[in-house]
Structure 1
Amino acid sequence: MLDVAALREAPWAEADWDALATRAAEAALAQTPYAEWAGSPTAIEVAVRLTSDDEVHTLNRQYRDKDKPTNVLSFPMIQPDLLDTVTQNSDDGEVLLGDIVLAHGVCAVEAEERGIAVEDHASHLIVHGVLHLLGYDHLEDAEAEVMEEMERAALRQLGLHDPYPVRED
């Protein structure tokens, strides 16, 4: 079972962020070998924090040595090599997969540039964040292509835009 909780802070608008975050996380999970977790009796927990650029700037500087806000940060609580056994080794039937933090101002500007709703862009960033929690990355071109295709598939499942331009080879 996937349990997603969203914590909204100003300046994020009121919305059903728990439902949005849950749908996005489920769509991301469905693209991975961990899709069966959705039906597992173990509660796989993800926390999504919707906060200010200032807070994300501080976290980005503190944890990534980047002195600027970014759209999304992911903080995995499980090492990627342990993910395969995570539901079998839970003492209390709960596993905290990790935290995802979104910066309002950065997200709002990016959404406006793309001509989409902030909620739709936040959905994409939550999908992106969940994939990071599951050990996916985009540092190398091959990794980026795999992760982007998973994001595209998740967003199609959600009925949302393709966030990535078609690459000309």
Structure 2
Amino acid sequence: MIEIDLIDEEQYSDEYTKKRIIDLLTFCSKQLEEVPVSCELSVTLTDDETIHELNKTYRGKDQPTDVLSFAMQESAEEEPWFEEAKDVPTMLGDIVISVETAKRQAKEYGHSDLRELCFLAVHGFLHLIGYDHMTEEDERKMFSTQEALLREYGIERTHE
């Protein structure tokens, strides 16, 4: 069972969109064996100014970005990703999404704001459970997993 705390700092998104993001991440948690049985995470919907500051502080990049993930646990590749405690949910971490950037990207890519926000939520979620895209092989694995999850959930590139 996953617990998701969605924080919409300035009411950037409607209730339907927020519910879809929570439902999608719940779906993803059930599809991926890397996800602990009992876990929790937070998703914050924010603006470019806030994510710019976070990106500058934590990644040294003086610009806004679309999504940031802050994993609570990190592990060497050969070790299990999470150690589960009995009766205590594993805290995966935090996902922060700039709704302003997501909307610009949706327009640029020719799909709905909802599709872009869902894509970014899944992208952030995969980072929390150990996926990355630092190498070509890792990028292929992560991006194909993202697209498969979105497709299986019913969100296609042309989804409106």
Cα distance in structure 2, aligned partners of 1:124 and 1:142: 20
What is aligned with 1:7?
Answer: 7
Q: What is the RMSD computed on CA atoms of the aligned residues?
A: 2.1
SS in 2 for 1:96: strand
**CA 86–22 in structure 1, closer or farther in 2 if over 3 Å, else same:** farther
Identity of aligned residues (%): 30
Cα distance in structure 2, aligned partners of 1:75 and 1:62: 12
What is aligned with 1:167?
Answer: none
**CA 49–117 in structure 1, closer or farther in 2 if over 3 Å, else same:** same
In structure 2, list runs of 5 or more residues that go unmatched. none
| Letter matched to residue 159 of structure 1 | G
- 1:86 paired to 2:83: yes
In structure 1, list runs of 5 or more residues that go unmatched. 164-169
Taking structure 2 as the reference length, what is the TM-score of the superposition? Answer: 0.86
Taking structure 1 as the reference length, what is the TM-score of the superposition? Answer: 0.82
| Letter matched to residue 48 of structure 2 | D
Describe the superposition over 1:66-114 as per-residue Cα deviations: whole angstroms up to 9, x where unpaired: 0000000000001134654432x25x52221000000121111001112
What is aligned with 2:28?
Answer: 28
Cα distance in structure 2, aligned partners of 1:61 and 1:26: 30
SS in 1 for 2:15: coil
**CA 46–85 in structure 1, closer or farther in 2 if over 3 Å, else same:** closer
Equivalent pairs, count: 156
SS in 2 for 1:4: strand
